[in-house]
Structure formats: C-alpha cells, structure tokens
Amino acid sequence: MTNKTTNPTFKASSSQTELPVYKHSDAAEFIRVEDFDLFEMTLWHQGAARDQSNAKAEELRRSGVMSLRNSPHADAAAKCRTYFETLQQAFDCLLSLKEQERLARQNRGQAKGRLIPGWQDFVANAGKGSSKKVDPAHSDTTRSSLERLHSYKVASTGCDVIAMMQRPAWQRLNLAQKELSRRLYLIHNTTLKEMAMNNILCARQLLLSKESANTDVTEQRESSTLSCATQFLISDQWDADESGEKLRGGDSAHAEERTVGWGNMPSPVDY
C-alpha cells in the first residue's frame, strides 16, 4: 500500500476553493515606482487615498501640485506615498546588500585560492637571519605571500562589513512592510491595493533569506582560521604607510624604526 504525501493547501478567497500552496512573490516580481511624485498624484487622482476634509490640500491638488510630502497640508495621498516609498527603498537596499554579499564571498574565495601553499612558513620566517644571506627568490616569495594574505584579509573584511549592514537593513525592511500592511485601509483602489499586497509579500519572501544558513561548516572553520591568521595585516600595513609618511615629511629623526616582517606584531602563525 502506497502512502500519498499530503500537500498543503489554502482556501482561495476569490474562488472559495482549496488550492495547493505554491511558491510566490519572488524578488523579481516586486513592482517598482520610478516617479513617486507622479505616484502620489495618482493615489489622489484615482481616489485611492483622498482626504477631502483637507480643503487646502484638495485645492492644491486640483491646481496641479504633484506632491504635498513634507508639506503642512500633506494629505492621505502624501502619507500613503511615504509608506510605499519607504518599503521600496528598504527592499532595494537589502536586495543590493545580498548581491554585494554574493560578489564579496566570490571575491574572498578567489583571494583564498591565490594564497601560496606554505604561506605560514614564509610569514613565520620573514625577517629572520642576516640581510646579507637573504635569498632574493625566497624574499620575493615571502613578499608575494604577504600581499596575497593582505588581499584575502581585505576580501574577508568586506564580507564582514556587508554582513553587519544586512542586520539593520533586514530590520528596516521588516518594519516598512509591517507599516504598509497596517495602512492598507487607506487604499481604495483595487489595482493599487493589489500592488501593495504583492510588494509586501515580496518583502516577506526576501526577509526569509536573511541568514546564510547554507554556509558549509568546513568553509566557516577555514574562514575563521584564516581570519585569525590575518588579524594584524591591515594594521601592520597602516603603520608602515604612516611611517613612510613621516619619512617623506622630513621627520626621519622621530620616525619609528620598523623591522623586516611583522616587527612587534604577532605572527599569523601564532593564532
């Protein structure tokens, strides 16, 4: 006897029938407004959001004023426009950050792939021994290894910054879609209400993917190890540039003398 899997259904309000739950409201289905001043006037003109008790606003609208946003006479159309615009800005911001995260992770992976095998040994031995006995080939390889490590550190930091920015962006979009949901009663035009509902659903779908839940555990562990190993790279290079600025400025007497390699900084292999 074969057990059939029961697919979830919902009761459609339009047909009062049970329909299977389906995937919907992809980010690409978000309906964008290019001209919000015109959109605000449309809300008023189509009677989607009108405030006839505001006589001055009605007078201004009839004379052709496109927007009353941030005006003492702001009407329902101006207020409703704000909810749509806030949602769109928040949606595009989070969507952009997710694309930036994808590219940043790709860049970090490429930087990781360019690391020279055995870079730990090159960095650990940097600056050791007499300068007269330094093998030029070994020195070049060490320098190249440090440069590639630095590139990886920059790429990794870029990923971290984007991840930090996504958290408030996620919260901003969540609040924006809730606010528009609460204000749907202001919209009396079926087409515009359906637009608002679709955009809210698109926002909720995007909010579901707030975490990179599918990140491989091995990748996380390797990334964490490399992140610790490159902890001082940017600070080290900053100090080197600052020291160079002092020398170029003629203050060589007070410029800090730096040793070859990591100087007083802990070596990456210590972490």
pLDDT tens figures, 13-69: 777 888 888 777 888 999 999 999 999 888 888 888 777 778 888 788 888 878 777
Tell me how far apart the alpha carbons of residues 187 and 194 are, in angstroms, rounded to a whole number: 10
The tokens for 168 are 């408030």
Contact 233, 215 (CB under 8 A): no
Least confident of 58-67, 221-230, 235-244, 252-261: 252-261
Residues in the chain: 271
Q: How far apart are CA 133 and CA 257, in angstroms?
A: 21
Higher pLDDT, 235 or 1: 235
**pLDDT attached to residue 240:** 65
If phi > 0 it is left, if psi is from -120 to 50 it is alpha, else beta; for residue 229 that is alpha
Alpha-carbon dihedral sign for residues 11, 12, 13, 17: negative
Q: Interhelix angle for 76-113 vs 36-45, to 10°?
A: 150
Task: Give the predicted TM-score (pTM) of the model.
Answer: 0.73
Q: Do 232 and 265 touch, CB atoms closer than 8 A?
A: yes
Calpha distance 111→114 (Å, rounded): 5
pLDDT in tens, 90-106: 999 999 999 999 999 99
CA-nearest of 199, 207, 235, 242 to 95 is 207
